[in-house]
Structure 1
Amino acid sequence: MKVTAAVTHEKGKLAIETVELDPPKASEVLVRLIASGVCHTDSAGIEQFIPVALPAIFGHEGVGVVEEVGIGVEGLKKGDRVILTFPSCGVCDPCIAGEPYTCEIMNDLFFNGTYKDGTKRFHKDGQGISSFFGQGAFASHVVVDARNAVKVDVDDENLAYLCSLGCGVQTGAGSVLNYCKPEPGSSLVVFGCGGVGMAAIMAAKIAGCSTIIGVDVVPSRLNLAMELGATHVVNGKEVDAVEEIVKITNGGANFSIECSGIPALTLQALSCLRRNGTCVVASVTGDAVVGIPIEPLLMNKSVTLAGLTEGGANPQVFIPKLVQFYKEGKLPVDKLVKFYDFKDIEQAFQDSHAGVTIKPILRF
């Protein structure tokens, strides 16, 4: 079938054009997208910091309606509303154990541009077009593995707000709720108040943390962090963030989540912890290397440094929980969102890079 997509033929560029999309194979579904989120990771692919083979269709936070199901698909049917999420193989030991965020072929499924069978679903003029995260959600329609699609009970208007539950919000909220699991009364610091960081702040409030600190350098983001649940904010341009956090928490925080993607902030996120604290790196930093003083920081303080993909989530279980939090008003992700027509995709990226909007969402 013919679909409309934003295709990257060369580094840093997008072109909206018509391409061919194959029908779903066994275990796959065809989804008509209602909306798709714009994420920092998409930008990294378009700019080839993540070297996905070009031409490619990026986008990995799609939501929409199932239009066709392939052979063997269970639990999904035509007309179902779905949130698309990250791919996993379903057969390796971590997947069988319910831990798809550590799937043994995760990187291949994310970044190779192909599906599990090694083929591509988008084509033009006889040439295959790579997809991203098993989606390629900068397109009007996508074919995805049924494991990537989470059925939800949400109307189309609200569904459009929930794009980032498949990746960014799942990453931030999951880092708190699935990994840190703070006790009520705990202290938690979030470095970087973008979409992932705001989700972590909202999750910390849900968990009952009594001290929630947001760290950023953009005043408007710090103001929104307070609105979403932060008890304190720190502008890293104006003060020494570590000193300020230690002062606020009377000795250091129980938990810190690094969501900025700035490698140097990992050291700050570790340094602001109290003894036996935990730091989670939840952001994409590429091949960056950070020097960490092991004995004085890690060993003497007995702190834990953890890297975590996709919030340690099993999406089929966790995303419905996030949807319920949204319905209850506990996860107001709509406050992060600005909508853009699909044709304005380049403006959406520009506004995201400039900090004008936290979560741009494209509407089809």
Structure 2
Amino acid sequence: MQIKAAVVNEVGGDFTIEDIEIGDPQSGEVLVDIAAVGLCHTDLAAQHGHLPFPMPGVVGHEGAGTVRAIGEGVTKVAVGDKVALTFNSCGECASCKKAEPGYCVSFMALNFGGVRPDGTSGLSKDGVQLGANFFGQSSFATAAIANQRNVVKLADDADLVLAGPLGCGIQTGAGAVMNTFDAQAGEALLVMGGGSVGLSGALAAVARNVGTIIVVEPVAARRELALELGATHAIDPAAGPVSEQVRAIIPAGVDYVLDTTANAAVLGEAFASLGYRGTVGLIGVPADPEAVMAVPMIPAQVLGAKVIGIVEGDSNPDEFIPELVALHAAGKFPYDRLISTRPFSELNEAIAAQARGEAIKIVLTHG
């Protein structure tokens, strides 16, 4: 079947909308007509070679749509079901069996390898195989092949524009606060970066009645939005050392820092903002795969501090995505405030707008 897809032909190149071919779903696979797909920093990290992915290829990993066809053995969804697509996992390793699919031992191969486990690709152009299967979906396209493991069935009346970002960015930020930190009422959270992941974390903290929620963000409009969404404080990193600003708000320091920047200098200020037994959670993807964080050893020991890497918000998507949908329906997680839409054909313009801080979470739509 012929579809349209945003193809990256070389590392660092623009996305080009091209006609390509998509195959039939194989055993365990699901063919989905994509209605909407979120634009995430991880897509751009792959585009620019910061994450491994074969070129030419198709990325995109926050897809939502309707099941067109299913492969042999698929029982989780049926043709006509609405679904959100999320990251892929094997289902067989120790992590997957403990309902921790973000730490699947085959995560890198299944999400960034660009091919199925048998080495084939479901996407091609003029008979030449394309890099596909990005996060088990490659949903920067009008249709995508996903796997039974990484589709989440939605209600028949689900809004697919809102559903897409739940598959990665929204669940990552919210999950870090709700799953990894398990933040509780009265505690203190510092969020480094007011993009979609950071603000999703702030929204989750509001839902958990966290006492102090501080968002650090250089863009004034995003600081204002953070306060509107329930953050208790929003600070400008240009106004002085972040740790000094944080200590002026909460002298004892914070219980949790959610870092979305992957910037070593920012992380230094994050660590300096910690209180006793505090935790720094690392979510951001660094531009340099060899980037390191310097941890001050004596303060770390004195504080009893922890630094933890977080993948996909420590979520089990089959459980956590419905939980977020329910919170949104109850008015307790208004992540729709983060979303703006653009036609899929304006992908490159959307990337530029998001880079300028003109949008927080852009969802690309077809039709």
Q: Indicate whether the TM-score tops 0.5.
A: yes
Aligned residues: 362
Cα separation, 2, equivalents of 1:64 and 1:262: 35
Structure-1-length-normalised TM-score: 0.97
Question: Secondary structure at the residue paired with 1:237?
Answer: helix
Aligned counterpart in structure 2 of residue 152 of structure 1, from 154, 158, 176: 154
Query: What is the match of residue 190 of structure 1?
Result: 191
Q: Confirm or deny that 1:328 pairs with 2:335.
A: no
Matched, 1:114 2:106: no
Q: Distance in 2 between matches of 1:199 and 1:173?
A: 5
- Aligned equivalent of 2:84: 83
Cα distance change, pair 97–244 in 1 and its aligned pair in 2 (3 A): same
Indicate the residue corresponding to 1:352 in structure 2: 354
Partner of 2:244: 243
Given that 1:16 and 1:343 are in contact with CA atoms closer than 8 Å, whether structure 2 keeps it comes out as: yes
1:301 paired residue number = 303
1:261, 1:138 → 2: CA distance?
Answer: 25
Identity %: 37
Any idea what SS the aligned residue of 1:133 has? helix
In structure 2, the CA distance between the partners of 1:227 and 1:154, relative to structure 1 (3 Å rule), is farther
Give the letter aligned to residue 325 of structure 1: L
- Say which of 264, 275, 287 aligns to 2:290: 287
Shift of 1:257: 0.5
Number of the residue aligned with 1:14: 15
Q: CA deviation at 1:48?
A: 1.7
Of stretches 231-240 and 255-264 in structure 1, the one that deviates more from structure 2 is 255-264
Q: How does 1:38-77 map to 2 (within 5 A)?
A: 38-77=39-78
Give the conservation status (yes or no) of the 8 Å contact 1:35–1:160: yes
What is the CA-CA distance between 1:210 and the residue it aligns to? 1.1
Is 1:363–2:360 an aligned residue pair? no
Which moves more between the two structures, 266-275 or 142-151? 266-275
Whole-angstrom CA distance in 1 between matches of 2:262 and 2:355: 13
The match for 2:233 is: 232
SS of match in other structure, 2:20: strand
Q: Is the CA contact 1:162–1:333 (under 8 Å) kept in the aligned structure 2?
A: no
Inter-partner Cα distance in structure 1 for 2:63 and 2:207: 25
TM superposition shift of 1:163: 1.5
Whole-Å separation in 2 of the counterparts to 1:276 and 1:7: 46
- Following the alignment from structure 1 to structure 2, what is the Cα–Cα distance between the partners of residues 207 and 264? 29
| Amino acid of the structure 1 residue aligned with 2:68 | E
Secondary structure of the equivalent of 1:289? coil
TM-aligned CA deviation for residue 118 of structure 1: 2.5
| Map of 1:200 onto structure 2 | 201
- Conserved in 1, the CA contact under 8 Å of 2:217 and 2:235? yes
Structure 1: which 5+ residue stretches go unaligned? none
Q: How many Å apart are 1:154 and its aligned residue?
A: 5.5
Q: CA deviation at 1:40?
A: 0.8
Structure 2 stretches of 5 or more lacking a match?
none
> Could you tell which deviates more after superposition, 264-273 or 195-204?
264-273
> What SS does the aligned partner of 2:221 have?
helix
Q: Secondary structure at the match of 1:183?
A: coil
- TM-superposed CA distance for 1:51, in Å, is 3.2
Match of 1:2 in 2: 2
Runs of 4+ in 1 over 3 A off after TM superposition: none
1:95 and 1:141 map into 2 onto residues whose CA distance is 27
Aligned mates of 2:117, 2:147 — CA distance in 1: 9
Residue type at the aligned position of 2:291: A
Structure 1 residue 7: Cα displacement:
0.6
Alpha-carbon contact 2:264-2:294 (below 8 Å) kept: no
Q: Deviations along 1:125-162, whole A, 9 cap, x unmatched?
A: 11111122111111000011111100011535x22123
> 1:54-107 CA distances to partner (integer Å, 9 max, x unpaired)?
111011000000111111111200111111000001111111111101000101
Offset at residue 287 of structure 1 (A): 2.4
Q: Match of 1:175?
A: 176
Partner secondary structure for residue 279 of structure 2 = strand
Contact 1:87 1:147 in 2 (8 A): yes
For 2:251 and 2:267, the matched residues in 1 are separated by 21
Rounded Cα–Cα distance in structure 1 between residues aligned with 2:264 and 2:45? 15
Q: How far did 1:117 drift?
A: 2.8
Q: Give the whole-Å Cα distance in 2 for the aligned partners of 1:135 and 1:344.
A: 20
Greater shift in the superposed pair: 301-310 or 323-332: 323-332
> Do the aligned partners of 1:10 and 1:55 also contact (CA within 8 Å) in 2?
yes
Tell me: CA distance 1:272–1:154, structure 2 relative to 1, closer, same or farther (3 Å). Answer: farther
CA distance in 1, matches of 2:101, 2:56: 28
Rounded Cα–Cα distance in structure 2 between residues aligned with 1:13 and 1:65: 28
Q: By how many angstroms is 1:270 displaced? A: 1.6
Aligned-residue CA RMSD in angstroms? 1.2
The answer for the alignment partner of 1:210 in structure 2 is: 211
